[in-house]
Amino acid sequence: MNLALDVLYKIVVVQCAILLYRRIINALVEKRLVTEVAEAYGFKGPTVTLVEDYMKETRRGCAKNPSFAKGRNLVTYAVDLMGPDKSPADYASGLTILSTIFGPLCRVKVKPSKFQEQRGIIRYLILYAPSSHIFRLLLVLSNPRSSPYGSERPETQIITSQLRETRKHAANMVLHLADGVSVEQLPQVIQCISSLISTFKEHQRFFFTHSDYAKEEEDYLERLWECLHVLYVLAANENNCRLIIHTRGLLTKIMTPLASNLYHQTDHDTWENVLKESLKVINRLTATYGHGEGETGSKLVREIETNLEMEAVETMMSVLRCDKCSQKMGTLTMGILTNLHVQMQTADKVYLIEMLVHMYTTANSRTSALEALAKLCFQDGSNATIILQVNGSAVSSFTEDLKALNYGYHSVAEILQHACLHYTNDDECLRILKESMTDVIPKVLNKILTTGALQSKVKNRRLQTKRKTETSLLSLCVTVHETLISADQHLALQFDGAIGELSLPVKLREMVERNSKPTASCLKIHKLTSRMVISMMKCRGSRYPKPDLESLVEALLKACSRNMYFIDRSMDFARGDNAAKPSTTR
């Protein structure tokens, strides 16, 4: 009997030892797993216990039911904690988990692919699933102007450290989810974002969670950047632009970084990212409503004039003149000014164009200035006249860029087209324009009509890029020939002399034959060539061989296939396509 008891006792001891060893191993493995998950998602300090709680609940659930973990993960666990039947402490824990997985918006933009699947699940569960009530509560929690405790006024609230932490995570969630909310919720979201763009004092009151003042400054600037960035993303939609413009006080906040010259004088590096994001939002808003038409457009222009204490043009020009502002900021500023061009006084228009021409001829950001000038000419062709008048060296710079096919020559070609169409003053500027065009156009024609001439420029590009180059330059050549050369016998003789041995009709025919495929780009080339043929037939003092012209016309007729006609009809649906024919005629 004693022997049997001894054996039984030993078995129990061994079993206890195995069980204890198993528990120790499980605890070590669980602790290691918690550490790895926490480090991967960015949980630090006290928040690591949230991962531990998730692991413990999963282990207990699996002990009772092996299929408990199926379909569950850290995200679904957090969403369950935020259910209506949970305590405020559970809600705060779930919110902290989701906010930590999302991370700060500014860092997500640097590494957008990290945890992308988890963020997608959060979006679905919060915005689109039956648990969408969670987002409505997030709007209340994140808005400093609202009270999570009913009718209590925000300024009389006692803000605890736990409430600050909850508000901070709620605001982070709203900013991450803002671009996916329903149309009905957008006004509330934009109003919430407007409330988040506040003073540093308000930020300290509602969101201060650090004892480190420098860290709190950094968090404040990050929050401003995040709010402006979300508004920039939302402003890609015209309806959202309207909501942003009509949200009380929001435009003033958006333009605050731009309105103060202090940002250019002190702490430039500190505020640069905020100023850049502000410019991006204003650029999108003015691109949609900068024309000033309608109630929304009028309000936008009025707010810009009101909030920029100095003249609007002068205020934004301070960015262009600032040595510390980046080229990207200068490009955005030029975009805003060109968007507002229609609403400017004549003196401001001339000042803007003069500054842009000066930047094009002398500054490093000449490409951005050139694109802005081309956009101004596209909006109003008469601006090309101002360009020629404010700077006598502009035409020379334009022609040099054309000869070398420098970057931005498409913009140069558009500006010169408008100059030829709109400049009617019989003065020195017109004389320079005529002489320059008579000299440069034959060189440009030689580049685009000689098959191998463009190979060095396009050998590593697709054929479509080459055709775009041919179309842009040929459009300029046709406009110059129609408006200047064909009507002036002296210029026609000069033009023929500059062409030299190049047979223009023959080379044009070869171009038509090279571009005979039924595509939109080839269609544009055919239309431009047809206009060139008509202009050559009307040309005074110049005689092109009749057989060559007939051969060119025959090639054009041959290219007019049914497929080309079909494409031509479909092009009627394209708006603003001016490559084949300028929108304004002389």
In a domain, 200, yes or no: no
Count of domains for the chain: 2
Domain boundary among 19, 44, 72: 72
163-175 per-position pLDDT tens digit: 888 888 899 999 9
DSSP state for residue 483 in the 8-state scheme:
I
Domain boundary among 29, 45, 72: 72
Start-to-end CA span in the chain (Å): 121
Alpha-carbon radius of gyration of the chain:
34
Are 451 and 514 in contact by the 8 Å Cβ rule? The answer is: yes
Cα separations in angstroms, 358 against 193, 333, 366, 406: 39, 16, 9, 18
In a domain, 190, yes or no: no
Are 108 and 172 in contact by the 8 Å Cβ rule? The answer is: no
For 412, what's the count of Cα atoms within 13 Å in the CB-facing half-sphere?
Answer: 28
67: domain range?
2-72
Going residue by residue through the chain, which has 586 residues, state the pLDDT in tens, using 9 for 90 and above. Answer: 677 777 677 677 777 777 776 666 666 566 777 777 788 788 888 888 888 888 888 878 887 888 887 888 888 889 988 888 888 889 899 999 999 888 887 665 545 555 778 888 888 888 876 666 888 888 888 887 665 544 445 454 555 777 888 888 899 999 999 988 888 889 999 999 999 998 888 877 777 765 677 788 888 889 899 999 999 999 999 899 999 999 998 988 898 887 776 666 667 778 888 889 999 999 999 888 877 677 777 888 777 777 665 555 677 777 877 777 777 888 888 888 888 887 777 887 888 888 888 888 876 677 888 888 998 898 888 888 888 888 878 888 888 888 877 777 888 889 999 998 888 888 888 888 888 888 888 888 888 877 544 444 444 456 677 777 788 888 999 999 888 888 787 888 788 777 776 788 888 888 888 888 888 888 888 899 999 888 888 876 556 788 888 898 888 888 887 788 788 777 777 654 443 343 443 3
176-199 per-position pLDDT tens digit: 999 888 888 899 999 999 999 988
In a domain, 541, yes or no: yes
538-547 long-range contacts (CB < 8 A, ≥24 apart) are 538/486, 539/481, 539/485, 539/486, 539/492, 540/486, 540/487, 540/488, 540/489, 540/492, 541/489, 541/490, 541/492, 541/493, 542/492, 542/493, 542/495, 542/496, 544/504, 544/505, 545/503, 545/505
Are 552 and 529 in contact by the 8 Å Cβ rule? The answer is: yes
Are 553 and 533 in contact by the 8 Å Cβ rule? The answer is: yes
Residue 384 corresponds to which amino acid? Answer: A
Would you put residue 488 in left (φ > 0), alpha (ψ -120 to 50) or beta?
beta
Domain boundary among 49, 72, 95: 72
Distance of alpha carbon 532 from alpha carbon 481, whole angstroms: 7
CB atoms within 10 A of CB 485: 28
Are 325 and 368 in contact by the 8 Å Cβ rule? The answer is: no
In a domain, 391, yes or no: no
The three-point CA angle 204-208-214 to 5° equals 85
